[in-house]
Amino acid sequence: MRIAVLSETDGAETRVSATPETVKKYKTLGADVVVQAGAGAKAGIPDADFETAGASVAANATDALKDADVILKVRRPAEGELSGAKPGALVIAIMDPYGQDEALKALADAKVSAFSMELMPRITRAQVMDVLSSQANLAGYRAVVDATAEYGRAIPMMMTAAGTVPAARIFIMGAGVAGLQAVATARRLGAVVTATDVRPAAKEQVESLGAKFIAVEDEEFKQAETAGGYAKEMSAEYRAKQAELVASHIAKQDIVITTALIPGRPAPKLITRAMVESMKPGSVIVDLAVERGGNVELAQAGEIVDHNGVKIVGHLNVPGRLAATASSLYAKNLYAFVETLVNKDTKELAVKWDDELVKATCLTRDGAIVHTAFQPTA
């Protein structure tokens, strides 16, 4: 069994899909691991560290792909990137499959079995494979760090001989994994923290971290969570009531961090131009959904926009701003999944195609798109 670890071709991607730690684990599964030269450079992992762990280093992607049974990446392979991959090889990555019909067709045409890690079901045995949670956790932490860096004042209350510095007020919009980590991080820094979410379960979680929960708690709010634990899209009436509450609250905040995403849909707009203009100069907004169209009307992907003195931070690939930690967690997510695809006795790949994890994540197989959610309509 040969496992190939490819470099990322997207210039904004700093993460790598394996680490020396997981290379050693793959070796115990009986795998030969080949790492493309420079794959870990942006995450601070030199080729020599992979070699010390037991991997061989290939000069280029073509050499790394040759005869590989499993191909590991962070992002979906770009067009032509799998040229030379053998038919039936397993390609495992964050595939971002929604609305990517041509890209999925290209994966099918490459005759590989493509697995999308972000489709992993939220069940107990798959928690260790949950890339959305591992990466969102870091994004929530980094969002607070980035906001603090742009905010020209201290975060905690400070009592000095020269006078008292008031604590910064930080508002987190969306209390999923990223939002809750942002709440916890902002609390650790000493801010006065509030948070909102459309899911009722979030209230208790927010309050358990010492923050105040802000929401219109009507009947629709009580039913606003899917069976999978995601937020539902709310009605126009609810959104209007919530927006009114949030607008008055935002005007008093120093930092706002938005984290709201709905799988397969554009990010919901939470902050309008008028809300931005209600904030004091020197305030900061961090939009973690900017790559999906953004929660903030004035946000620009990859830029920090200054609007009337309010900074709107729209960094791309926020987990990748903590490349070493993000790679470590992502690589462990991948290993946990790959381990389920290997027969421990024969040390060979033995994919159970009817396993619920495989069925939930497999996009393409035998030249066709097999995932029912992404099959082309006639």
- Residues with a catalytic annotation lie at 122, 127, 130, 133, 230
Q: What are phi and psi of 297, to 5 degrees?
A: -55, -35
Q: How far apart are CA 284 and CA 304, in angstroms?
A: 10
**Residue 94 contacts residue 108 (beta carbons within 8 Å):** no
Q: Which of 7, 323, 356, 345 is nearest to 142 (CA)?
A: 323
Q: Which of 156, 164, 155, 186 is nearest to 173 (CA)?
A: 186
Q: What are phi and psi of 289, to 5 degrees?
A: -100, 15
**Residue 373 contacts residue 121 (beta carbons within 8 Å):** no
CB crowding 29-58: b at 16 or more within 10 Å, else e: bebbbbbbbebbebbebebebbeebebebb
Q: How far apart are CA 210 and CA 33, in angstroms?
A: 45
**Residue 72 contacts residue 5 (beta carbons within 8 Å):** yes
